[in-house]
Structure 1
């Protein structure tokens, strides 16, 4: 709620009368050991308590305040866990350093087999970190090659031993696989003037920077951190909230931590499903272009949700007939993606049958009767095609039919692109902008932008609790607004007797 450290929160608990009143504590009860707070946080993570606290409490707020959830908006914001941003050389050095310290702590006998030269490149005799990664740009590439060969030597040295079961060894293996090419044909021969010249060649070669994937490890202290080309290292937090004009407050309905290297397009359908499972699924969902692919628009439509977002890419050129009339497309047909009612063409004729492709459910084939299609005034512009013997339900129709095969994802894109060309659509889409203020509020007021924790589980817990704190704060303000009498009402009130 207040973005405090553990020690600051425990101090407020002990000495702040406002906290005593809020938590209904007597002064002699207002004390908590830091270890107890730490253990409780661990138990929350073990039992998915953060997600349950957020969803269940938020649902109770929605019910208590009578909030409507039909209109919601969705966006993502970039957050950082409590890590240092490492260079590529720094990543190698820190991962080796973490491994060496773990081996010396847990398997000191096995650690004695590590060469002094290798160990001294990363750790001083006192156990403190060396500055091997602190290299000038001209030396950085050479030292990086040395580090890559050192990683291979360590992985090879401890393969099959008790050390190989350690988490730190797994990080070393992961680093080697993501950053290096490994194989017998690789000539990892150190130069005569390099620091590992006397330690022999190894069968590896460094990958070029463009070959390293964005989901590769960015720090050994938080292996779940990934990289985004335009946002940097960290996590993405998906945030959904209501945007109903009549609500006493807008409530955050959903938060979710996703990899920074992933695309927002992959979360749209999952967010809708999660909200529907809680009974607060939106009928309209505002989001930006990344979320609004044709596939997502079609899947959302199947779930009863209209995806309101700009359409990416260029609009295809429209083909004209010889008479200058614009050709109709499948987007001009009224197609129910749930198949509860028959499709209707642009002239108002219903399809006599529809068939979904079992291997590609986005594709549907609609059949229209010959007697209504041939005399139709739109026939020359219509995309339906005559098929002499279309297969109907596993049998061949002897009379034939006019057939339209449509990709429902493309149909969704076509409809939305036409709506977007309307001048009123931009005004309607303006409703999405409000979620930027929510993202800013979570970061500035509740410390979401730079978290004090690291590790995926701790990050997820922190995100759930910060979003819940924001909702609680908004609820309190909404209740206070209901209780307070407006100054104008006081001015017009009759004098007391």
Structure 2
């Protein structure tokens, strides 16, 4: 039995492999338990659309799929994964290979991933694994699930603006030299070989701001000159539409004003939004983003997992997005993916980034999901001052389209509009003379003469918003929402065990494949641990915190300490 493909078959384990594996590990190990309990997860027919029906027979795609997942289970690069197939007994056991099988070259794994990306093979892998786990009884629909996101660093170094310019020119010239060396030799000015041959590094750039400005303008002028040369009728047509040239054209659009006269470098305030920019010529999909005190260039991944008490915690949905996409923008996409796999939960725990009134209503009405997560608090100053009149102190008559203030005055205007995010809203204002004469005006508004105004959501959203803001202050909600914290363990395992924090490959499509393979690897790790009698890990407590006394005893000790000092 070799790695060559057969159309069907589950690749039984050869006797010599079984005998040696059990002689070395009588009780088995994680990978042997994986094969014993779940068998070969895939068959070659599933990948038939990814391979040609003519030519030399391919290596078995079912086995290559298993190898690809195994390498993410152990966070191995391609070369070490190929060596593991050749040298390790437990890998041969999983794959059903004889001891004498010599494996394959490491480049085969890269080629197989390229086929998976081109043919949406990631969906085949993930959906097949979910079906196998469901058949085994480890997954159920309408349970409890939780979702969170984390940042992913692109497989490129961080570049300053001027470094991005130099590297874009360098990458474009290298690409042109590969496809049209004769044209480059004849058309490119000799100084460019010294200017754009070495890697663009801020360490070598001028330190004075004026000198760096001149360097940026020089690079800009060179870029416009190159684009002019490429647009000439004598230039090969394929160069004008080369991907590297398209990136150069887009970077120059975002960094410079049109070359009418002297080249002018854009001010930061005059640049397009971050989600429209290219931050590295080597990964056009990677975007710069910030979250609190964190800055990164890359992507964001959203992982959804089950957390039913009697089943292992397994990943049911993976979504990779640009880093600039807000969490709330993808919630409906997550629910749609879960519905497609018939894995919708009854309760879905998420953090504040995913929740708003509209999302709670849509989740319940469209998918029958109770969305559990805190709503952002009212940011108005009246909501922060317990003596002031916030929106909860006003009575809303939705049928009459009138709002009554705490002093009994009715509003005079009710205007429907869209807020700055494009969401429907209602603007309510009161009569100025009523507000100016109000004895409790300072508790309601800080304006000197203007009347109080309110911004309301549509009725259903407003009522849900107020109900959730009240409910999230209760102990019952806090106990339920505390279970969401367990998803941090998933993020930790994904980043520490499977290396998900750093993208291995360039581009959104390949990064998405990495995240799906990571999810498959984690599901198998957790499933094997569950079926072999393992237990869930609990959040670890440091030895110092473990010595914390009960609250009552703590107060007694503090009083004793203060008394002794006195």
Common fold by TM > 0.5: yes
How far is 1:470 from its partner? Answer: 0.4
Matched, 1:417 2:491: no
Matched, 1:121 2:195: yes
Question: For the structure 1 residues 36 and 424, does the alpha-carbon distance in structure 2 shift closer, same or farther, using more than 3 Å as the test?
Answer: same
Number of matched residues?
Answer: 395
Counterpart for residue 40 of structure 1:
112
CA distance in 2, matches of 1:4, 1:330: 63
Counterpart for residue 179 of structure 1:
255
Counterpart for residue 157 of structure 2:
84
How far is 1:273 from its partner? Answer: 1.1
Question: For the structure 1 residues 295 and 231, does the alpha-carbon distance in structure 2 shift closer, same or farther, using more than 3 Å as the test?
Answer: farther
For normalisation by structure 2, the TM-score amounts to 0.64
Counterpart for residue 495 of structure 2:
443
1:27 to 95, 99, 109: 99
RCO higher in structure (CA 8 A, sep ≥6):
1
| SS of corresponding position for 1:98 | helix
How far is 1:142 from its partner? Answer: 2.7
CA distance in 2, matches of 1:132, 1:418: 53
Counterpart for residue 208 of structure 1:
267
Indicate if the aligned counterparts of 1:244 and 1:250 stay in contact, CA closer than 8 A: yes
The structure where helix makes up a greater share of residues is: 2
Question: For the structure 1 residues 242 and 28, does the alpha-carbon distance in structure 2 shift closer, same or farther, using more than 3 Å as the test?
Answer: same
Question: For the structure 1 residues 28 and 469, does the alpha-carbon distance in structure 2 shift closer, same or farther, using more than 3 Å as the test?
Answer: same
Indicate if the aligned counterparts of 1:451 and 1:459 stay in contact, CA closer than 8 A: yes
How far is 1:446 from its partner? Answer: 0.4
2:302 to 217, 238, 248: 238
Counterpart for residue 412 of structure 2:
none
Question: For the structure 1 residues 180 and 130, does the alpha-carbon distance in structure 2 shift closer, same or farther, using more than 3 Å as the test?
Answer: closer
**More displaced 10-residue stretch of structure 1: 464-473 or 414-423:** 414-423
**More displaced 10-residue stretch of structure 1: 416-425 or 11-20:** 416-425
How far is 1:181 from its partner? Answer: 2.1
Question: For the structure 1 residues 299 and 130, does the alpha-carbon distance in structure 2 shift closer, same or farther, using more than 3 Å as the test?
Answer: closer
2:358 to 279, 295, 306: 295
Indicate if the aligned counterparts of 1:93 and 1:132 stay in contact, CA closer than 8 A: no
CA distance in 2, matches of 1:177, 1:46: 30
**More displaced 10-residue stretch of structure 1: 169-178 or 131-140:** 131-140
Indicate if the aligned counterparts of 1:121 and 1:132 stay in contact, CA closer than 8 A: no
Matched, 1:71 2:144: yes
CA distance in 2, matches of 1:20, 1:159: 56
Matched, 1:156 2:219: no
How far is 1:4 from its partner? Answer: 0.3
Question: For the structure 1 residues 310 and 329, does the alpha-carbon distance in structure 2 shift closer, same or farther, using more than 3 Å as the test?
Answer: farther
How far is 1:149 from its partner? Answer: 2.2
How far is 1:422 from its partner? Answer: 2.0
| SS of corresponding position for 1:238 | strand
Q: Which runs of 5+ in 1 are unaligned?
A: 189-203, 334-356, 365-404, 484-497
CA distance in 1, matches of 2:82, 2:113: 14
Counterpart for residue 443 of structure 2:
none
Counterpart for residue 490 of structure 1:
none
For normalisation by structure 1, the TM-score amounts to 0.73
1:312 to 376, 393, 396: 376
Q: Which runs of 5+ in 2 are unaligned?
A: 1-72, 400-415, 426-456, 536-566
Question: For the structure 1 residues 108 and 270, does the alpha-carbon distance in structure 2 shift closer, same or farther, using more than 3 Å as the test?
Answer: same
Cα displacement string for residues 140-194 of structure 1 (whole angstroms, at most 9, x for unaligned residues):
333222222222222222126421111110010110111222253xx52xxxxxx
Indicate if the aligned counterparts of 1:122 and 1:132 stay in contact, CA closer than 8 A: no
CA distance in 2, matches of 1:473, 1:175: 43
Indicate if the aligned counterparts of 1:3 and 1:447 stay in contact, CA closer than 8 A: yes
Indicate if the aligned counterparts of 2:167 and 2:200 stay in contact, CA closer than 8 A: no
CA distance in 1, matches of 2:524, 2:188: 54
How far is 1:282 from its partner? Answer: 1.6
Matches within 5 A, 1:281-430: 281-303=344-366, 304-314=368-378, 328-329=395-396, 406-430=458-482
Question: For the structure 1 residues 330 and 312, does the alpha-carbon distance in structure 2 shift closer, same or farther, using more than 3 Å as the test?
Answer: farther
Q: CA RMSD in A?
A: 3.2
Question: For the structure 1 residues 274 and 113, does the alpha-carbon distance in structure 2 shift closer, same or farther, using more than 3 Å as the test?
Answer: same
How far is 1:302 from its partner? Answer: 1.6
Indicate if the aligned counterparts of 1:217 and 1:224 stay in contact, CA closer than 8 A: yes
